[in-house]
């Protein structure tokens, strides 16, 4: 087991470097460097631009720039933001907390909502419950989150005035948990909604598949109640596709839920990403992208380990 | 008084498929006494499994018992509520399935899976359950049961898994054990061991057994009574000695003739020609006539009844004079 994990980590290292090279290349090829923003300003002299370019290291060959960036990153230094002049690491860590809270809440909500729907629609296939949850999951998947977010804002914040319109805290109330929850609830629901639709369908189809298995008949023949058969024997064996989906979805959420965070001005990585792209603040954009890449690699390993917990036939050697 | 443990009367089980409704079991009667073994034989697809699933009411959603009664200790299972059925399943009637490789849940240890039934029906605590599981594993001849109890199904061979299934089925001392082709998926030596085990258990615990098989060799070994099925119907029903000595129905005769005998050469091997008709496309009259060497005009037009003499029942026009006392033994 330990050997398996260390081997997986070792294998991830070249992948990690591969990704960073790719990301770095793409960003340097992208049209519009921060200098162009300066250039478009008529009042700035050639000399000033040159000075800035040397200061940012943009005058050096690409591979030197990459090695510098990489070297700094390995010591935990992601450089400074062109936009705010703050260390990128600090900005990412700040945003990560907010994003993590939002993502975890959304994932938990999504599981809590989709499990009963998925289970019931598998159990009562093609009956009323199934149809209701099919329609529900169809709407959940196909409604754009910015639209749903605005609808929610309109009702709960503008009309009913029971929920705040955005942000994470009220000013001066940074440690008030109730206030935090009030700010969290709408973006978390909106973010979970996209997952709910997919999860219901995954749980349903996976359970219907397992229900045909001989061992489910064996469980019934033992005299177990239908509820026990469904939870202990069917659901337990249906979780692998669900885990696979979450294992792919969570790292992407950690990169920030761009649309949801923007609609609700949630101060997470998604919002930071949007602002940084608009300002061509490449150190921040690169930093967040690398973070997502690392998260994907880490969650790949975690997903594989959970497979092993779910299915004893999977061995790590 | 001869009380039947199980009495099936006029059982009809239909499936509602996308091509329409089919009668997978089309009027089946039989009865089993305490300690008796009944074998149900017939070619694949003739409704043996559906009959056994009907008894435990474990039919898939598209299957339905449309007529008949299944009396178990005097109570009609057909009318019984689902919650009362769960008290019978695995406790008073239990079942072994054909596929040992897929009939156990891959994610739980065998100990947990056997223990599940024991805890449910016998209300033992964790430690007592484990002891009982080990005792059951020992009973079915699994070596090193203290170690096996914590293993997962994939760590066991097919024969061992079928023993686990038997241990599970017997763990609550059922009065009736239904074994649906328990040895078909196993190789010959393991097959013989499992049959030996079932016979031994029957003698030791006096369990009634319904053994489903398409192998007449198995029947000769274990049966007291034999029910021959064809296309969802009973075509012959009698005790095992009579069946081998004096098979009446042309279908049964065909089945017995297709058994390889040592003194026969291969060319003489008589296999019934043709196949079981599709349930969607049943011939009129007797369902067997298209394959029957003795088919007469009446067979194509009318359905034969189950004629009876001396507890020997047969569904064939050759024997319609049974009731009058005139017997014409077909071949
Ligand atoms: N789930 C089902 N849906 C439709 N038809 C079925 C189903 N299960 C069994 N049948 C039909 O019932 C008939 C009897 O099947 P079965 O009892 O399994 O035969 P066997 O004697 O081989 O055990 C078959 O013709 C089969 O096509
Ligand atoms: Mg069968």
pLDDT in tens, A119-166: 999 999 888 989 998 898 898 888 898 999 999 999 999 999 888 888
Mean pLDDT of B69-77: 95
Q: Which residues surround ligand 2, an ion (CB under 5 A)?
A: B 49
Q: What's the pLDDT band for B1 if we cut at 50, 70, 90?
A: very low
pTM score, two decimals?
0.85
List CB contacts of A234: < 8 A, sequence separation 6 or more. Answer: A122, A207, A210, A211, A216
CB distance B62 to ligand 1 below 6 Å: yes
CB distance B17 to ligand 1 below 6 Å: yes
Nearest by CB to A223, from B103, B121, B154: name it.
B121
Q: How far is the C-alpha of A214 from the C-alpha of B58, rounded, in Å? A: 12
pLDDT tens digits for B228-285? Answer: 999 999 999 999 999 999 999 999 999 888 776 655 444 444 567 777 777 777 888 8
Does residue B288 or residue B264 have the better pLDDT?
B288
Q: What pLDDT is recorded for position B271?
A: 61
Does residue B66 or residue A65 have the better pLDDT?
B66
Q: What's the pLDDT band for B81 if we cut at 50, 70, 90?
A: very high
Distance (angstroms) between ligand 1 centre and the Cα of B287 equals: 17
Q: What's the pLDDT band for B42 if we cut at 50, 70, 90?
A: very high
Polymer length in residues for chain B = 331
Shortest CA distance from A123: residue in chain B: B61
Q: How far is the C-alpha of B281 from the C-alpha of B277, rounded, in Å? A: 7
Would the CB atoms of B94 and A222 count as touching at under 8 Å? yes
Would the CB atoms of A218 and B152 count as touching at under 8 Å? no
Q: Does the pLDDT at position B213 exceed 70?
A: yes
Q: Does the pLDDT at position A208 exceed 80?
A: yes
Q: Does the pLDDT at position B64 exceed 90?
A: yes
Q: What pLDDT is recorded for position A224?
A: 96
Would the CB atoms of B89 and A311 count as touching at under 8 Å? no
Would the CB atoms of A223 and B86 count as touching at under 8 Å? yes
Q: Which ligand is nearest to the CA of B180?
A: 2
Q: How far is the C-alpha of B70 from the C-alpha of B11, rounded, in Å? A: 8
Would the CB atoms of A223 and B97 count as touching at under 8 Å? no
Q: What pLDDT is recorded for position A58?
A: 75
In chain A, residues with a C-beta closer than 8 Å to the C-beta of B90 are 221-224
Going by the DSSP 8-state scheme, the letter that residue B46 receives in this structure is S
Shortest alpha-carbon distance between residue A127 and chain B (Å): 12
Q: What pLDDT is recorded for position B119?
A: 94
In chain B, residues with a C-beta closer than 8 Å to the C-beta of A310 are 107
CB distance B230 to ligand 1 below 6 Å: no
Q: How far is the C-alpha of A166 from the C-alpha of A149, rounded, in Å? A: 11
Would the CB atoms of A215 and B86 count as touching at under 8 Å? no
Distance (angstroms) between ligand 2 centre and the Cα of A250 equals: 45
pLDDT tens digits for B90-144? Answer: 999 999 998 888 999 999 999 999 999 999 999 999 999 999 999 999 989 899 9
Distance of CA A306 to the CA centre of its chain: 19
pLDDT tens digits for A226-267? Answer: 999 999 999 999 998 899 999 999 998 888 788 999 999 999
In chain A, residues with a C-beta closer than 8 Å to the C-beta of B72 are none
Nearest by CB to B104, from A125, A218, A224: name it.
A218
In chain B, residues with a C-beta closer than 8 Å to the C-beta of A210 are none
What is the edge-to-edge ordering of all strands in the sheet holding B75-76? Answer: B20-33, B4-17, B63-72, B75-76
Q: How far is the C-alpha of A70 from the C-alpha of A17, rounded, in Å? A: 9
- Hey, whose CA ends up nearest to atom 6 of ligand 1? B15
Looking up tokens 């603040």 gives A281
Q: Which of B307, B314, B311, B312 is nearest to B250 (CA)?
A: B314
The CA–CA distances, whole Å, from A81 to A283, A290, B70, B179 equal 6, 15, 80, 73
| Ligand 1, atom nearest to B278 Cα | 25
In chain A, residues with a C-beta closer than 8 Å to the C-beta of B121 are 223
Shortest alpha-carbon distance between residue B173 and chain A (Å): 12
- Hey, whose CA ends up nearest to atom 7 of ligand 1? B15
* Chain A, chain B: beta-carbon pairs less than 8 Å apart: 70
For A55-74, give one letter per residue: b (16+ CB within 10 A) or e.
ebeeeeeeeebbeebeeebe
List CB contacts of B10: < 8 A, sequence separation 6 or more. Answer: B27, B28, B29, B67, B68, B69
Would the CB atoms of B97 and A214 count as touching at under 8 Å? yes
Q: What pLDDT is recorded for position B218?
A: 87
Q: Helical H runs in chain B?
A: 48-56, 82-88, 110-122, 126-139, 145-148, 158-170, 188-205, 216-222, 240-245, 250-257, 297-301
Between CA A300 and CA B103, with CA A122 as vertex, the angle to 5 degrees is 80
Q: What pLDDT is recorded for position B250?
A: 92
Q: What's the pLDDT band for A174 if we cut at 50, 70, 90?
A: confident
Going by the DSSP 8-state scheme, the letter that residue A317 receives in this structure is -
- Hey, whose CA ends up nearest to atom 12 of ligand 1? B24
| Chain B contact residues (CB < 8 Å to A) | 56, 58, 61, 82-83, 86-91, 94-95, 97, 99, 102-107, 113, 116-117, 120-121, 152, 154, 165, 168
Q: What's the pLDDT band for A36 if we cut at 50, 70, 90?
A: low
Q: Which of B169, B167, B9 is nearest to B89 (CA)?
A: B169
Bridge partner list, B96: B179
Q: What pLDDT is recorded for position B268?
A: 43
| Chain A contact residues (CB < 8 Å to B) | 125, 213-215, 217-226, 233, 236-237, 310-313
- Hey, whose CA ends up nearest to atom 5 of ligand 1? B15
Q: Which of A126, A218, A307 to mutate against chain B (most B CBs within 10 Å)?
A: A218
Going by the DSSP 8-state scheme, the letter that residue B185 receives in this structure is T
Q: How far is the C-alpha of B74 from the C-alpha of B313, rounded, in Å? A: 24
Kindly tell me the burial class for residue A44, based on how many C-beta atoms sit within 10 Å of its own C-beta (0-12, 13-18, 19 or more). middle
Looking up tokens 């340097």 gives A28
Nearest by CB to B56, from A221, A233, A237: name it.
A221
Rg of chain B on CA atoms, in Å: 21
Q: Which of A187, A289, A310, A184 is nearest to A246 (CA)?
A: A310
Shortest alpha-carbon distance between residue B99 and chain A (Å): 8
Q: What pLDDT is recorded for position B324?
A: 61
pLDDT tens digits for A278-303? Answer: 888 888 999 999 999 999 999 999 99
- B50, B95, B235: residue to mutate for ligand 1 pocket, most atoms within 8 A of CB: B50
Would the CB atoms of B94 and A218 count as touching at under 8 Å? no
| CB-CB contact of B7 with B31 (8 Å) | yes
Q: How far is the C-alpha of B266 from the C-alpha of B263, rounded, in Å? A: 10
| CB-CB contact of A267 with A102 (8 Å) | no
Q: Does the pLDDT at position B331 exceed 60?
A: no
Shortest CA distance from B85: residue in chain A: A223
| CB-CB contact of A292 with A255 (8 Å) | yes
Nearest by CB to A222, from B61, B83, B120: name it.
B120
Q: What pLDDT is recorded for position B270?
A: 55
CB distance B60 to ligand 1 below 6 Å: yes
Q: What pLDDT is recorded for position A40?
A: 67
List CB contacts of B138: < 8 A, sequence separation 6 or more. Answer: B145
List CB contacts of A27: < 8 A, sequence separation 6 or more. Answer: A282, A285, A286
pLDDT tens digits for B148-181? Answer: 999 999 999 999 999 999 999 999 999 999 999 9
Computed over every residue of chain B, the mean pLDDT equals 89
């Amino acid at each position: 087991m330990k050997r398996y994990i260390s081997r997986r980590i070792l294998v991830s290292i070249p992948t990690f470097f591969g990704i960073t090279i790719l990301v770095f290349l793409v960003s340097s090829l992208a049209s519009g460097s921060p200098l162009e923003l300066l250039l478009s300003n008529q009042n700035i002299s050639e000399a000033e631009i040159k000075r800035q370019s040397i200061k940012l290291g943009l005058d050096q060959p690409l591979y030197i720039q990459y090695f510098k960036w990489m070297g700094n990153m390995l010591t935990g230094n992601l450089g400074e933001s062109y936009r705010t002049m703050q260390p990128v690491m600090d900005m990412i860590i700040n945003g990560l907390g907010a994003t993590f809270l939002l993502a975890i809440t959304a994932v938990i909500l999504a599981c809590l909502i989709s499990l009963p729907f998925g289970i019931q629609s598998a159990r009562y296939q093609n009956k009323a419950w199934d149809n209701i949850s099919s329609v529900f999951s169809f709407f959940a998947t196909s409604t754009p989150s910015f639209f749903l977010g605005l609808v929610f804002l309109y009702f709960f914040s503008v009309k009913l005035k029971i929920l705040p319109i955005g942000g994470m805290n009220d000013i001066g109330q940074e440690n008030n948990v109730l206030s935090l929850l009030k700010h969290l609830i709408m973006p978390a629901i909106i973010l979970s909604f996209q997952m709910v639709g997919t999860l219901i369908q995954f749980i349903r189809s996976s359970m219907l598949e397992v229900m045909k298995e001989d061992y489910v008949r064996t469980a019934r023949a033992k005299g177990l109640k239908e509820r026990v058969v469904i939870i202990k024997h069917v659901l337990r064996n249906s979780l692998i596709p669900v885990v696979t989906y979450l294992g792919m979805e969570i790292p992407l959420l950690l990169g920030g839920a761009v649309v949801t965070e923007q609609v609700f001005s949630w101060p997470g990585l998604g919002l930071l990403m949007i602002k940084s792209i608009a300002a061509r603040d490449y150190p921040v954009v690169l930093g967040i992208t690398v973070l997502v890449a690392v998260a994907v690699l880490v969650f790949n390993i975690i997903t594989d380990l959970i497979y092993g917990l779910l299915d004893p036939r999977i061995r790590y050697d | 008084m001869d009380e039947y443990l199980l009495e099936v009367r006029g059982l009809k089980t239909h499936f509602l498929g996308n091509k329409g409704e089919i009668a997978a079991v089309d009027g089946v009667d039989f009865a089993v006494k305490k300690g008796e073994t009944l074998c149900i034989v017939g070619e694949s697809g003739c409704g043996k499994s559906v009959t056994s699933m009907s008894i435990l009411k474990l039919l898939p959603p598209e299957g339905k018992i449309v007529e008949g009664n299944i009396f178990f200790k005097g109570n009609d299972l057909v009318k019984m509520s689902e919650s009362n059925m769960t008290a019978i399943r695995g406790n008073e009637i239990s079942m072994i399935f054909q596929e040992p490789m897929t009939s156990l849940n891959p994610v739980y240890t065998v100990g947990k899976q056997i223990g599940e039934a024991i805890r449910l029906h016998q209300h033992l605590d964790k430690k007592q359950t484990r002891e009982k599981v080990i005792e059951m594993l020992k009973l079915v001849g699994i070596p090193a049961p203290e170690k096996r109890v914590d293993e997962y199904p994939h760590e066991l061979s097919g024969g061992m898994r079928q023993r686990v299934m038997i241990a599970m089925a017997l763990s609550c001392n059922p009065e009736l054990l239904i074994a649906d082709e328990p040895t078909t998926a196993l190789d010959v030596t393991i097959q013989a061991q499992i049959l030996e085990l079932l016979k031994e258990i029957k003698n030791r615990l006096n369990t009634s057994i319904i053994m489903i098989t398409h192998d007449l060799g198995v029947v000769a070994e274990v049966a007291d009574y034999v029910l021959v099925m064809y296309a969802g119907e009973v075509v012959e029903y009698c005790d095992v000695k009579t069946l081998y000595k004096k098979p009446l129905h042309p279908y049964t005769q065909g089945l017995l003739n297709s058994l390889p005998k040592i003194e026969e050469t291969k060319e003489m091997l008589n296999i019934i020609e043709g196949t079981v008709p599709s349930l969607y496309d049943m011939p009129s009259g007797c369902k067997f006539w298209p394959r029957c060497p003795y088919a007469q005009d009446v067979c194509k037009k009318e359905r034969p009844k189950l004629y009876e003499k001396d507890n020997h029942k047969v569904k064939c026009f050759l024997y319609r004079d049974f009731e009058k006392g005139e017997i014409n033994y077909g071949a």
